[in-house]
Amino acid sequence: DTAPPEALTALHDTFGFPAFRGVQEHVVARVLEGRSTLTIMPTGAGKSLTYQLPAVMLRGTCVVVSPLIALMHDQLRSATANGIRAATLTSADTDRMATMDAFRAGELDLLYVAPERASQQHFRDLLSSAPVSLFAIDEAHCVSEWGHDFRPDYRLLRPLLDAFPDVPRLALTATADQHTRADILAQLGIADDGLIVAGFDRPNIRYAIRPRDSLQRQLKAILDENPGPGIIYAPTRAKVEQLAEALGASGRRVLPYHAGLDPAIRARNQAAFVASEDMVMVATVAFGMGIDKPDVRFVAHAGIPKSIEGYYQETGRAGRDGDPAVAVMLWGAEDFARARQRLAEVEDHRRASERQRLDALAGLVETAQCRRAILLRHFGEHPPETCGNCDNCLEPVGVTDATQLARKLLSAVYRTGQSFGLGHLEKVLTGQGDDRITQRGHDQLSVFGIVTAQEAPMLKSIARALQARGSLVPTEHGGLALGGNAREILKGEAAVEVVVAPPRERRRGKQRGA
């Protein structure tokens, strides 16, 4: 589809852009024809324009449903800067009466609301008394339980949308796997042929995923190699604080960001980061949504993200200007162990999809194949086998059949009663008797000393791989127990392959020393 010439004029005049990018034109054209659409575009691809431009052109107001007040205010700021007549209607706004008057009078191009307000009866009444041109549903994956960020309030939107059958709907999201896409279409009542998916590849981002051995040292190395602005995602507020302090001691400007900080400090840190050319933000995933900083040069994960979608979204904040950027994930077996433990707390009907999500992430982490190919396949694309710009393409790793050694390890776990940690198991398997071992009679077990000195160094990575896949699960007291398909592996019915990484860090260390 091509957009009418007036659209191009508005693109120049209102937004100052010479041309549409990627699928933007296609989406705008459909919306201007009044056809409901779901568009899936990666972060930074320019989703906002696809509703803001029709909002400017169409008579009446485009009502935008958005999940976060902070996000709305960012959008509002940039729309207003372009001379678009926009307003937000949130509990944080004191001028709600004036906004509603302007809305009724047809003096607004855009009106941003949260889903919980949009689904209320008095908002529906308000819409009945105002000219509405378009419904834009931002972060539309929130409507799906398959999505990674389900918000029950999004489910309440449907009756509102259905009450205005002549108003087209435009749903937007950066992340949606095949399953979630179909669900969004169904939930929001958009026909299947209304799906427009942009390419997901971010060729300038170099992906690398490594086991975590010494987090601070590894992060320090990443900072040294990347002098530009960067984000380090940490799993908890405490970890954010701790890393920000430790890394800041090295001279680089490093600030923390998480939802527990005073809002004024948070805003100040964010503003400092946006303005900076070399700063590092250590943050929880609360940071990044709606932040327009195109020159982020690296994104590091200090632990695993929630899912491939989360990984893609978070790493996608790097290199939005198109210049080279890196994304490095440092993962540990305990990340997967914790995530699998958390599965137990998930509601029953969601557990299967959450488990699949985690398995898919483990597949990305544990692979010897091209990371980009796996990411893009996850989003339904058919990429080439290699990309030349990820760790596995640049330094190919081998895959080894470790089934025999995995069986020895699992068998030791079983025979020692599924309550000991890896350190103890390693001693038993390599035949190092100590008091604890003799006291418990573990030196009398058939598994005592069955691992050779040659095999021994592999035990850690096998344990990591087995934990990532859920074949080994942690016990309450820090031991390891059998889980997942451990019994199949023990019986010889399932194989275990592990990635054999080249000694990257050591090699790099030598180069620097030379």
Q: How far is the CB of 395 from ligand ADP (least distance, A)?
A: 31
Maximal C-alpha separation, the chain: 86
> Is 326 one of the binding residues for Zn ion (CB under 5 A)?
no
45: partner contacted, choices ligand ADP, Zn ion, none (Cβ within 5-8 A by kind) = ligand ADP
Name the residue with the smallest CB distance to ligand ADP.
46
Binding to Zn ion (CB under 5 A): which residues in 74-133?
Answer: none
Name every residue whose Cβ is closer than 8 Å to that of residue 77 and which is 6 or more positions away in sequence: none
Length, in residues, of the chain: 514
- By CB under 5 A, residue 327 contacts Zn ion: no
The residue count for binding Zn ion (CB under 5 A) is 5
Shortest distance in whole angstroms from residue 46 CB to ligand ADP? 3
Interface positions with ligand ADP (CB under 6 A): 17, 20-21, 24, 41, 43-49, 292
Q: In which region does residue 388 sit, left (phi positive, over 0), alpha (psi from -120 to 50) or beta (all else)?
A: left
At its nearest, how many Å lie between Zn ion and the CB of residue 328?
Answer: 14
Nearest-approach distance from CB 28 to ligand ADP, in angstroms: 10
Residues ≥6 apart with Cβ < 8 Å to 171:
37, 38, 39, 136, 137, 140, 143, 184, 188, 190
The single residue among 387, 466, 472, 482 that binds Zn ion, judged by CB under 5 A, is 387
**Residue 130 interacting partner from ligand ADP, Zn ion, none (CB closer than 5 to 8 Å by kind):** none
When the beta carbons of 47 and 239 are compared against ligand ADP, the nearer one is 47
By C-beta, is 56 or 223 nearer to ligand ADP?
A: 56
SS (H, E, C) 273-337: HHHCCCCEEEECCCCCCCCCCCCCCEEEECCCCCCHHHHHHHHCCCCCCCCCEEEEEEECHHHHH
Residue indicated by tokens 């993962």: 331
Per CB under 5 A, 393 contacts Zn ion: yes
Instruction: Lay out the sheet containing 110-113: strands in order across.
Output: 86-89, 110-113, 61-65, 132-137, 169-173, 37-40, 195-197
CB 60 within 8 A of CB 106: yes
Question: Could you tell me the smallest distance in angstroms from the CB atom of residue 316 to ligand ADP?
Answer: 8
User: What is the smallest separation between the CB atom of 24 and ligand ADP, expressed in angstroms?
Assistant: 6
- Residue pair 232/219 in contact (Cβ under 8 Å)? The answer is yes
- Taking each helix axis as running N to C, give the angle between helix 308-315 and helix 348-365, from 0 to 180 degrees, rounded to the nearest 10: 60
Please give the span between the terminal C-alpha atoms of the chain, in angstroms, as a whole number. Answer: 57
**Residue number with CB closer to Zn ion (357 or 372):** 372
Stretch (H or E) spanning 473: strand 472-474
Q: Is residue 139 within 8 Å of 172, Cβ to Cβ?
A: yes
Q: Measured from the CB atom, is 327 or 387 closer to Zn ion?
A: 387
**Smallest separation (angstroms) from ligand ADP to the CB of 27:** 11
Q: Shortest gap between Cβ of 82 and ligand ADP (angstroms)?
A: 9
As a whole number of angstroms, the distance between CA 425 and CA 462 comes to 13
Calpha distance 245→316 (Å, rounded):
25
Nearer Cβ to Zn ion (266/372): 372
Binding-site partner at residue 75 among Zn ion, ligand ADP, none, CB < 5 to 8 Å by type? none
| From 150-158, 355-363, 379-387, 487-495, span contacting Zn ion (CB under 5 A) | 379-387
Site string for Zn ion, 354-373 (x = CB under 5 A): ----------------x-x-
370 contact, one of Zn ion, ligand ADP, none, CB 5-8 Å limit per kind = Zn ion
Which residue, 72 or 127, is less far from ligand ADP as judged by CB?
72
Residue closer to Zn ion, measured from CB, 215 or 397: 397
Distances (CA, A) of 136 to 164, 459, 490: 13, 52, 53
Identity of the residue, 386 or 485, whose beta carbon is nearer to Zn ion in the bound complex: 386
Stretch touching Zn ion by CB under 5 A, among 34-42, 154-162, 388-396, 424-432: 388-396
**Residue 390 lies near Zn ion (rule: CB under 5 A):** yes
CB 168 within 8 A of CB 31: yes
Which of ligand ADP, Zn ion, none sits in contact with 54, Cβ below 5 to 8 A by type? none
Classify the phi-psi angles of 414: left when phi > 0, otherwise alpha if psi is within -120 to 50, otherwise beta: alpha
Using CB under 5 A as the criterion, which residues of the chain lie in contact with Zn ion when the complex forms? 370, 372, 387, 390, 393
